[in-house]
Amino acid sequence: MGRPRLIILIRHGESESNCDKSVNRYVPNHKVPLTARGHEQARAAGRHLCDVVEPGENVLIYTSPYRRTRETTEEITTQLQSGGIDYRVYEEPRLREQDFGNFQFDEVEMTRIWKERARYGHFFYRIPNGESAADVYDRCAGFNETLFRQFSSDKFAKVLVLVTHGLMTRVFLMKWYRWTVERFESLRNVHYCEFVTMERQESSKYLLKNKMRTWSDPPFDELTGATTADDPAESDAISNISPLVEKQNQIRAMYEEMQKDAAANEPPMLHHIDVVEHAAEVSASEDSDDVFDDGNEAAENGICINGRCRPRSIMSSSSIDD
């Protein structure tokens, strides 16, 4: 079996809509670009990936087709190319962001939607004209089946990288490790360009190397890059937060309070289930129970967007704008 040594999920870098939510009202979500800082975060991720890959290993990258993930992927592969690392890149639409219903509503209506979602529950609440996390889970399950079929090939890459989005990252882990809905809803988002790493063990099980942050942990400000309000290593941008960022922080603080209230008022259920946080207790083969038993299927879903080693010839700024 060609199971990779590492499976690494990387959230895209900071995007314009992460800094200004009003962007979502007039720019299609799949066309939102990275900020300058987001590009630098992606370049740093590429340099880090070069350090992670061992000599002689090759890399397979699946990327969401959204502009911010493609731009992140382009920055990463530029670093891989500079490091002489063999890689391939495929677009995979099933790794796309949760659909928030085309152009988003104005601030008042979106605040109402977030409040309603907090009361209803993150996993099952469907955004008007969009998706619920449960919908994302369904397409993630199909993608996992593709991976398990590909793992049957001894030629599968040693390092698998999924460049995707925050919610998809958490849903992917939920599906892989069979986390409960309650476990999923307890998780905070991952950082921009954070490496969420799953490492294969001798037993062929995958150990989750990250400690996932929950709502009980100190908050992380995605706009400023601060890990906690008291973290001495927090971004120096905190001292110069614009009025817009302050407003977004107020909305986020209100939203987090609603999350805590909803969790506190939720009736206890399923507490007898031992939630598996790490792969030490989950076999990769067990995860493929529902996969078709067809070792000969190529399962090369996704479009090869750069052949082998020249991403810029395809992933140019003009093609990304289309």
Q: Where are the domains of the chain?
A: 6-311
pLDDT tens-place values along the chain, 322 residues long: 689 999 999 999 999 999 999 999 999 999 999 999 999 999 999 999 999 999 999 999 999 999 999 999 999 999 999 999 999 999 999 999 999 988 888 889 999 999 999 999 999 999 999 999 999 999 999 999 999 999 999 999 999 999 999 999 999 999 999 999 999 999 999 999 999 999 999 999 999 999 999 988 877 665 555 544 333 322 333 233 344 445 455 555 665 666 666 656 654 443 333 333 333 333 444 444 333 223 222 233 333 333 333 333 333 333 333 3
Lookup result for tokens 């008022």? 265
Contact 32, 22 (CB under 8 A): no
CA quadruple 225, 228, 231, 237: dihedral, nearest 10: 30
Q: What CATH fold (topology level) applies to the domain 6-311?
A: Rossmann fold (3.40.50)
Q: Could you confirm whether 300 is annotated as catalytic?
A: no
| Count of helices and strands (H, E) across the chain | 9, 7
> Which of 14, 71, 92, 97 is an active site residue?
71
pTM of the model: 0.72
Q: Determine whether 246 is an active site residue.
A: no
Active-site annotation holder among 12, 14, 165, 222: 12
Interacting residues of 299 by C-beta distance below 8 A, sequence separation 6+: 146, 149, 150
